Amino acid sequence: MNKTAFAYALLVASCFAAPSTPLLAQSAQDVQSAMQVLKSKTAQAGAPSLKGEEELEGHKVPVLYLGTKRVNGDFAIVDEVQKEKGGTATLFVKSGEDFVRVSTNVKKPDGSRAVGTVLDPKGKAIAAIRKGEAFAGEVDILGKPYLTAYEPMRDAKNQVIGVYYVGYVKQ
């Protein structure tokens, strides 16, 4: 296990695992496994980069690419992760100080995909992402509690250009 994977495993374990909560420890494993699948599928598509801008649900956002695959509005990868692992998955793009969902299967209360919504600018996850760090823990997403993991997405110059997200609605 490399240093990053070990640090991530410790982070996930510290956020969820406690001797008296084996159910949460299992959920942490599910979250970690789903993140591995999401990152594997995006890596297979190619290196992340930004090319141009577009209007998306009232936001002017950069267009995210994985290799030559345009990600904005394409749900194939996030839906594959959901099909394999359950839960939800999202790819965010950095737009100014915000991170905007450009590919997601997180649903809004009306049942539509939450494309164009932003990562909570006051939440725990974004605080870690802004420091270039991963986050794992419970967060509120559009009014529902989720067990989640977020990791910075970096381009070839090691700049944070987006975020990988996976999560499960907390029962």
Contacts of 77 (CB under 8 A, 6+ apart): 38, 41, 42, 45, 66, 71, 89, 91, 103
Q: What is the pLDDT of residues 125-160, one digit of tens each?
A: 999 999 999 999 999 998 889 999 999 999 999 999
Q: What is the pLDDT of residues 62-105, one digit of tens each?
A: 999 999 999 999 999 999 999 999 999 999 999 999 999 999 99
According to the model, what pLDDT value does residue 4 have? 44
Nearest CA to 66 out of 167, 155, 134 is that of: 155
Q: How confident is the model at residue 27 (pLDDT cuts 50, 70, 90)?
A: confident
CATH of the domain at 97: 3.30.450.20
Owner of token pair 């995210």: 64
- DSSP helix/strand/coil, 135: strand
Question: Which residues are 70's β-sheet partners?
Answer: 65
Q: Indicate the number of domains in the chain.
A: 1
According to the model, what pLDDT value does residue 160 have? 97
Per-residue pLDDT at 25 exceeds 90? no
Q: Is 135 exposed, middle or buried (0-12, 13-18, 19+ CB in 10 A)?
A: buried
According to the model, what pLDDT value does residue 28 have? 86
Phi first, then psi: give them for residue 126, nearest 5 degrees: -70, -30
Q: How confident is the model at residue 23 (pLDDT cuts 50, 70, 90)?
A: very low
Q: Per the confidence metrics, is the pTM higher than 0.75? A: yes
- DSSP helix/strand/coil, 63: strand
Average pLDDT over residues 103-112: 94
Domain hosting 91: range is 3-169
According to the model, what pLDDT value does residue 57 have? 83
Q: How confident is the model at residue 43 (pLDDT cuts 50, 70, 90)?
A: very high
Per-residue pLDDT at 116 exceeds 70? yes
Q: How confident is the model at residue 170 (pLDDT cuts 50, 70, 90)?
A: confident
